[in-house]
Amino acid sequence: MKNGRLALFAFFMSVFVVVPLAATSASASTDVSFNFDTAGQLTSEFNSYVASGSVSQTLTGGISNSGAINAPSSANAVYTTKSSYSIGPVGSSYTFTSFIQSVGNNGYSGMGFTSLAPGALSASGVPYRPNDALGISVHGGGFVFHNGVTNYNGAWQSGGSGITSVRTATISDLLNSGSVDMWYKIVLKIERATQSTFNMHVEVWPSSSAGVLYNAQASAIFELNGVTNSTLMNSPVIYSYINFSGDRVRYFDGFSVSLAGGASVVTAGNPVVLTSSTSQLNNIISASGNVTSENGSTVTDRGFVYGTTASPTVNDGKISVGNGLGAFSGTTGTLPGGTYYVRAFATNSNGTTYGSENTVILPVVASSQTVTWNPSNTTATTNSSYLIPNTSASSTGTGTISYSVVNAGTTGCSINNQLPPVISFIGEGNCVVRANAASNASFTAAFQDVTFTITAPATQTVTWAPSNNEALETAATITPNVLATSSGSGAISYSIHSAGTTGCAVNSSTGVLTFSSQGICVVRATASSNTQFSSATKDVSFIIGSTTTSLTLELDAQIGSSVANAPVEYSSSGLQPGTSWELVIRSTPQTLASGLISQSGLASGNAIIPSNLEAGWHSITLTGTKLGGGIISKTIWFKVDGLTTLLWSQATQPADLAQQTSLANTGFAVTNIFLIGLGLLILGLLVVASSYRLKYKTYPLP
């Protein structure tokens, strides 16, 4: 877990309930974490000795490309924390965790405990590490447990002599091939098993570059038990270390040490003090401790601190018990019932150190109290993001009222503990908030839970269908004859969704559209979101027609193919709005399509060629009225055989049209009645066939 700087975390622990004659209490755990995201952390929090190569802190390259320690090539180096640790009692433990990017093929990296400051005389060996190390070094195919100058070598797939194999790896080169991203989480746990021996336990977890573990269990687990390290045992304080040896690890990140069972963190120069035991009798707490090192400066005050909140200091309840080195004990006066947190302290000229924190619960005889909390506004939508209950909780006793989230569910809810609280949320679901009445000398604690239901905002529908959504480009403006409405309560506004070639703009309040050129302008009506509704939109296309008159015809058939039921594509622009237009095929004249010109001066579409055309020439004519008056038309001619096969098409009147004697000539300017009669006679005798093939092209308006 990344935390931005060195941080000490007091973790909630299991509480041991002390009855009047009990003499046992529970200890908390403490974490020390380094994420290397802050520039200079490696030098401000660690002492170092780099025997060879180069090691530095970078602000990229680590987990999720965050800060990390970088060893770009082969290096021999040791880093120790400037803060130290006390050696806890039997049963205490230290859990080391780190993430490494293993890319080299000839080297090691590791971590553990040392009592020595890093330097040329205090580190050596292969793997390179402190001379009194109690720790681990890992490499591609295995690992080395260190106990001073003694090494215990093991392989990931088979273990080693004197080493207990809890789980062996399925591949031999685990730290070379176990992770696609080449990242691994290494866990080392050191436990004080007896007064003189330690047990060590190592785990390897293949990981992604984002720190996500690939598997539900470690790929390899090994233990080395019952080792003795008198150098560390006799040292007043010990330090956690990181070692680099050869070319193995490119980036080292997420280094942390979790202390449990009585050990504590000691700031450099401060004394070392242990909380030995705590107990209670008749609501009087007894405690004992031990100053094991003055750390270079005389201890001028020592004793115990206690309080009803975690992590008490010398500014809370305090019992002073002399000064100097050695064991000491003391008692409090009679205290009200409740939960108390107790820890030893020792002070020298450099500062104050606290031992591990124990919890003691004193019995309380008190009346019960009842909490009442009945807000009526217990529902909201995710658009609101927060809710303030319209009533505060009350109690029949004198316990102080506070609030807490007991079940956030899927809402991600939190509170700010105002009276009444502000409940913030980010998702749908139920958020259970507890109104607590604290216990005191007269009353036991009580609470009442209230469930607040968070739902998705309702959907709303925007309706907008103006009928005057077409105009010529010279109109310059359109005022929609209806405005948009919503089925919800969102405020309506207008915006340009797509201007196309029109240069359009819209008034966000009135929906009035302005434009300067032809094309399609898409206007969006938006109903805004609010606490009850999500936002919604409706798009309307406004068609702006050109004032340049043009007609286009295209027969979609190829020379040599049948024109029966073939489509004719037609379009026009710049015609007089409201006037008629028609598309006529002349053989026996037949209207294929007709209508009124829209307000944009446009007409367009497709028509179908009849299937029963006779052989000969035919024409298709699109006719309309120009702006300001006057008829305009566009004609194409095409010739078919008796099977309606297209023989030819062109944009000008055929030269041989006057000599055509088939019925297909009906409707053209052939006035000689003799020729018409002769054509009718010949039509019954002739079959026109052609193998010539030509594709029709669209001809622009002359």
User: pLDDT-based confidence at 90, cuts 50/70/90?
Assistant: confident
Q: What is the mean pLDDT of the chain?
A: 88
Q: Say which amino acid occupies 249.
A: V
The whole-number pLDDT of residue 152 equals 98
The whole-number pLDDT of residue 441 equals 78
Bridge partners of residue 159, in order along the sequence: 155
Q: Which residue has the higher pLDDT, 30 or 425?
A: 425
The whole-number pLDDT of residue 321 equals 97
Domain 279-362, second-level architecture: Sandwich (2.60)
The whole-number pLDDT of residue 686 equals 35
Q: What is the mean pLDDT of residues 332-357?
A: 93
User: pLDDT-based confidence at 403, cuts 50/70/90?
Assistant: very high
Query: Using one digit for the tens of pLDDT, what is the confidence trace for 483-527?
Result: 999 999 999 999 999 999 999 999 999 999 999 999 999 999 999
- Nearest Cα neighbor of 335 from 319, 320, 314, 351 is 319
CATH of domain 550-683: 2.60.40.2550
Residue 559 has pLDDT above 50, yes or no: yes
Q: What is the mean pLDDT of residues 537-550?
A: 94
User: pLDDT-based confidence at 18, cuts 50/70/90?
Assistant: very low
Q: CB atoms < 10 A from the CB of 172, how many?
A: 14
The whole-number pLDDT of residue 27 equals 54
Query: Using one digit for the tens of pLDDT, what is the confidence trace for 204-249?
Result: 999 999 999 999 999 999 999 999 999 998 887 899 999 999 999 9
Domain with CATH 2.60.120.200 in the chain: 50-260
**Looking only at Cα atoms, what is the longest distance across the chain?**
143
The whole-number pLDDT of residue 364 equals 74
Residue 320 has pLDDT above 90, yes or no: yes
Q: Is the entire prediction scored with pTM above 0.85?
A: no
Coil/strand/helix, residue 294: coil
In this structure, which CATH number among 3.40.50.10330, 3.30.360.10, 2.60.40.10, 3.40.30.10 belongs to the domain 371-455?
A: 2.60.40.10
What string of DSSP letters covers 633-658?
EEEEEEEE-TT-BEEEEESS--GGGG
The whole-number pLDDT of residue 655 equals 86
The whole-number pLDDT of residue 666 equals 34
Residue 451 has pLDDT above 60, yes or no: yes
- Nearest Cα neighbor of 254 from 114, 84, 116, 61 is 61
Domain with CATH 2.60.40.2550 in the chain: 550-683
- Nearest Cα neighbor of 155 from 137, 142, 172, 136 is 142
Query: Using one digit for the tens of pLDDT, what is the confidence trace for 353-401?
Result: 998 889 999 987 678 999 999 999 999 998 888 999 999 999 999 999 9
Fold of 462-545: Immunoglobulin-like (2.60.40)
Domain with CATH 2.60.40.10 in the chain: 279-362, 371-455
Asked if 260 and 27 count as a contact pair (C-beta separation under 8 A), the reply is: yes
Residue 35 has pLDDT above 80, yes or no: yes
Fold of 50-260: Jelly Rolls (2.60.120)
